[in-house]
Copies of this chain bind each other. A is one copy, B any other.
Amino acid sequence: MSYPSALPLSQVRFDHGFLAGRARLVRETVIPGQWDALNDRIPGAERSGCVHNLQVAAGEKTGEFHGLFWQDSDLAKWIEAASYRLATHPDPTLDAELDRLIATITRAQREDGYLNTYFQLVEPQNRWANLRDCHELYVAGHLIEAGVAHFQATGKRTLLDVVGKLADLVARTFGSGPGQIPGYCGHEEIELALVKLARATGEQRYLALAEYFITQRGQSPNYFETEAKVRGEKGKLPWHMHHDGLATLQAACPVAELKEPVGHAVRMMYLLAAMLDLAQEKNDPVLREQGRDLWQATVARHLYVTGGVGSEPYGEKFCEPFDLPPDRAYAETCAAIGVVLCARRMLEHELDGAHADVMERALYNNVLAGLALAGRTYFYVNPLEVVPAVAKRRFECHLVKTQRVPWFGCACCPPNVARLFASLGAYAYAQLTDGLAVHLYAGGDVSFTVGSVPVQLRVTTEYPWKERVEFTVEAAAAVEFTLHLRLPGWCRTPHLEVNDRPVRPDVNRGYARVRRTWQRGDKVTLDLPMPVERVHADARVAAAAGQVALQRGPIVYCVEQADNGAQLSALSLPRSSPLKAHFAPDLLGGCVIIEGQALRTGSGDKLYTTEPAPVASVALCAVPYALWANRGEGEMRVWLRES
């Protein structure tokens, strides 16, 4: 292989520390719980209908389709997550459950390869008739990802064959040839899935199809306009396309002309991920450069401090550069996952710690916020400031939930979190030709090879709560390789020791390169001092002017009503106020909290006055943003006014 690539999941094990805890939660609680949700077995939750729909389509039961056009994709993402779990933690019961489910899927698939329970059960006559709105290829993409994951986890071709047949149908159906549809999906996803399928099967035609979908997108005449005419559609575009029109779907111009992320945030991120994949597979310098530029535009002008993207709730979209209001942050969990997907691909293009910094920011903050501590409820929208009464009241916040919920009518986020956390190993490490890159620090083991020599590395750490990460080489024989250890951008004074002797590493683009002939038992100690930092946004971020976010290591903090009382906007943090971090073992599952003195402005009896209000000194307690809303409903805010 010519570029840094993820290791097979079976070669990575997380067994202690924070990320391992979250991964275990996903394995033991989230994935089984979501299976219940998909089977409509959670009282009080919004109905999924996923398994029901599939069984009806397979002829195993009778009934009506429930849900949205893309309902199948929830199940597909869950299968992907469950497959990753099988890869790291073999489990005959789950394996058998998946086999049964895949058998049903196989029965549901039409002879020609078509598979989409909505269109099979509700609108069979409208297959491929509305690519703009109906997500058929998106659903196919998620099924393909599931098929690849299941194959890689189990070696079984059952689902892979199903999705191969589906992909072949798509390949026959779409393209510029006679009788083919010159279209593409309103919601990108199949593009990156097809690259995965090409990689898993070695079939280059899937790559060509991905390339077709990407390059055909936004070409003139615009396919979405053409098909709308064919449908006889008149009048307005769907509401979510307000203001942006076809740019909502990244289809107002050819993809090659995109210079700024536009439109629906998840779609944009999935498109970018696919562009980066394609650039990699084709070794295309122009596409690579464009992908990098789009990525840089995203992180330089559109990223919340929590790592989320999408600041226009009405349509779940990118907004103007630097327009990042905290209360109206959409910052969909899926979009932050998209950021993680793109960051990993950027790291495959160039081993630059800046990309890992963004990945870590998104993962530890926005993505993790999507999942409750107890692993049974979820956020879809992740604002950086919530006043419950206001969020429930204002229309622009009407999609904000002030508490996580067990399921959603549109439940894209929960299984997306599950598949990401079930495959964390693919984000933490990359196999390089000269050794191993470590992007994320988490306690466990990783196995990789140097030439043909297997190496095992043990990682011991309580990161991100503690500053130390220890690596112990457990190679069978002395072997020379380079350990590329990420030095996080937030860390000013990293300190490295090899076998207890300080070394000044060769640092390149945020990675310390430690090359030597390693012996079994060699130990590397990386200290990443984590003082509490006050993070300022660029002055162009109007919503954060005069304010700071607290950050320690990769963790972005927030203040909650539970610790600081209501009306958090009345708090300000003096520039001179010292802030201390300490581990609170009994709080929120055990986490580092930040404490200090703040000022609280008092209220008087006049709405407007020329008299400055009285100000009192009060204790401030900040908790990790990702852990907010685990103690009942209350206010929360990330940005704190400096005084």
Show the binding face of A for B, using Cβ within 8 Å.
242-243, 299-301, 303, 305, 312-315, 319-320, 323, 328, 387, 389-390, 392-396, 398, 490, 533-542, 545-546, 549, 551, 567, 569-570, 572, 601-613, 641, 643
Contacts and interface: CB of A to CB of B under 8 A. Distances in A.
17 contacts: A299-B607, A312-B395, A314-B396, A319-B393, A319-B394, A323-B394, A328-B394, A395-B396, A534-B610, A536-B608, A536-B613, A538-B609, A539-B569, A540-B603, A542-B567, A542-B569, A549-B608
Given A607-B299, A641-B545, A312 B537 contact: no
A394 B312 contact: yes
A31 to B, nearest CB: 34
Contacts of A328: 394, 396
B533 A545 contact: no
A408 B485 CA distance: 62
Contacts of A393: 243, 312, 319-320, 323
A396 B395 CA distance: 8
B613 A538 contact: yes
A532 to B, nearest CB: 10
Contact of A569 (B312, B314, B545): B545
A22 B300 CA distance: 47
A579 B239 CA distance: 47
Contacts of A541: 607
The 5 closest A-B pairs by CB, nearest first: A314-B395, A542-B569, A396-B396, A539-B601, A539-B570
Contacts of A536: 608-613
B389 A610 contact: no
A535 to B, nearest CB: 5
A323 B539 contact: no
A607 B537 contact: yes
The winner among A315, A536, A612, A641 for most chain B CB atoms within 10 A is: A536
Given A393-B243, A396-B395, A610 B535 contact: yes
A60 B135 CA distance: 55
Contacts of A613: 536, 538-539
Tell me the number of copies of this protein.
2
B537 A603 contact: no
A398 B396 CA distance: 11
A540 B607 CA distance: 9
A601 B546 CA distance: 9
Nearest to A540: B603
B603 A539 contact: yes
A301 B551 CA distance: 35
A604 B322 CA distance: 13
Given A390-B319, A394-B323, A305 B542 contact: no
Contacts of A323: 387, 390, 393-394
B572 A300 contact: no
Nearest to A313: B395
Contacts of A610: 490, 533-536, 551
A607 B546 contact: no
A300 B606 CA distance: 7
A639 to B, nearest CB: 11
A85 to B, nearest CB: 34
Contacts of A301: 607
A282 B387 CA distance: 42
Contacts of A537: 607-608
Given A328-B396, A545-B570, 8 more contacts: A303-B607, A490-B610, A533-B610, A536-B609, A536-B613, A537-B607, A538-B608, A541-B607
Given A396-B314, A546-B641, A641-B545, A604 B538 contact: yes
Contacts of A395: 242-243, 312-315, 396
B300 A607 contact: yes
A390 B612 contact: no
Contact of A643 (B539, B540, B546, B612): B546
A549 B610 CA distance: 10
A192 B402 CA distance: 41
Contacts of A546: 546, 572, 641, 643
The winner among A328, A394, A608 for most chain B CB atoms within 10 A is: A608
A602 B539 contact: yes
A545 B545 CA distance: 12
A246 to B, nearest CB: 16
Contacts of A572: 545-546
A620 to B, nearest CB: 15
A383 to B, nearest CB: 13
A25 B173 CA distance: 67
A496 B97 CA distance: 90
A545 to B, nearest CB: 5
A323 B387 CA distance: 10
A510 to B, nearest CB: 14
The winner among A533, A539, A569 for most chain B CB atoms within 10 A is: A539
Contact of A603 (B392, B538, B641): B538
The winner among A243, A396, A533 for most chain B CB atoms within 10 A is: A396
A104 B305 CA distance: 64
Contacts of A299: 607
A325 to B, nearest CB: 8
A41 B313 CA distance: 40
A438 B314 CA distance: 49
Contacts of A242: 395, 398
A281 B263 CA distance: 57
A570 B540 contact: yes
A214 B101 CA distance: 63
Nearest to A600: B539
A51 B545 CA distance: 50
A149 B551 CA distance: 64
Contacts of A567: 539-540, 542
A551 B609 CA distance: 11
Contacts of A394: 312, 314, 319, 323, 328, 396
